[in-house]
A = this chain, B = another copy of it.
Amino acid sequence: MSNEIGDEELENFYQKVKRDIEESGYHLNPDVEFTKYLLKNILLNEQRYGYGACPCRLAADNKEEDLDIICPCDYRDPDLNEYNTCYCGLYVSGDILEGKKKLQSIPERRPSPKEREQSKSEERSIISSLDIPVFRCSVCGYLCARQEPPEVCPICKVSKERFKRFI
């Protein structure tokens, strides 16, 4: 297996990711060259490690430990809500796309290895998931458990402000 990604493979991956995420109301960075550079590194990580680890973070070469940073990472959506971009700049908010906000560099949200270790053992003892609020789309009733509602409802495409806290 050679560590090379062909142009066609990259183009197909780009098209598939773009289609998949737009269906759910997400957006890729409109800078196609930069976006493809990131996607290429995800494909390379898939060859190296067997999983598509985040192209901007150091992977542990251990899938179990890196589950949270397989792209899209567990931090994408909180970062989109707070900073209008994911850590890498691969995913951006609609406000960035429409030029209402500007891309900025953002801090790392992933907990340190020590904190991750700790929260793992906590998860075993208590049901920490109950801390995550559940939001409901007022139009279609879609339910999701997140710190904030998504930018648009993945089912009926209405915007964030139509969600209400449900639980």
Interface residues of A (CB under 8 A from B): 20-21, 23-24, 26, 67-68, 70, 72-74, 76-77, 129, 132, 134-136, 138-146, 150, 154-158, 161-162, 164-167
Chain B residues, Cβ within 8 Å of A138:
67-68, 74
The answer to whether A156 and B70 touch (CB under 8 A), given A132-B141, A139-B77, A166-B129, is no
In-complex Cβ contact of A141 among B72, B77, B140, B167 (8 A): B77
A154 to B142, CA, bound (A): 10
The answer to whether A139 and B74 touch (CB under 8 A), given A67-B162, A145-B166, is yes
Contact status A73-B144, CB under 8 Å? no
9 contacting pairs across A/B (C-beta < 8 A): A21-B156, A72-B158, A132-B136, A135-B141, A136-B145, A140-B146, A140-B150, A142-B154, A143-B144
A146 to B150, CA, bound (A): 19
Contact status A139-B24, CB under 8 Å? no
A24 to B152, CA, bound (A): 14
A72 to B26, CA, bound (A): 20
In-complex Cβ contact of A139 among B20, B72, B139, B140 (8 A): B72
A150 to B142, CA, bound (A): 10
Chain B residues, Cβ within 8 Å of A129:
136, 164-167
Chain B residues, Cβ within 8 Å of A161:
67
Contact status A73-B139, CB under 8 Å? yes
Contact status B150-A144, CB under 8 Å? no
CB distance from A124 to the nearest CB of B (A): 12
A166 to B21, CA, bound (A): 24
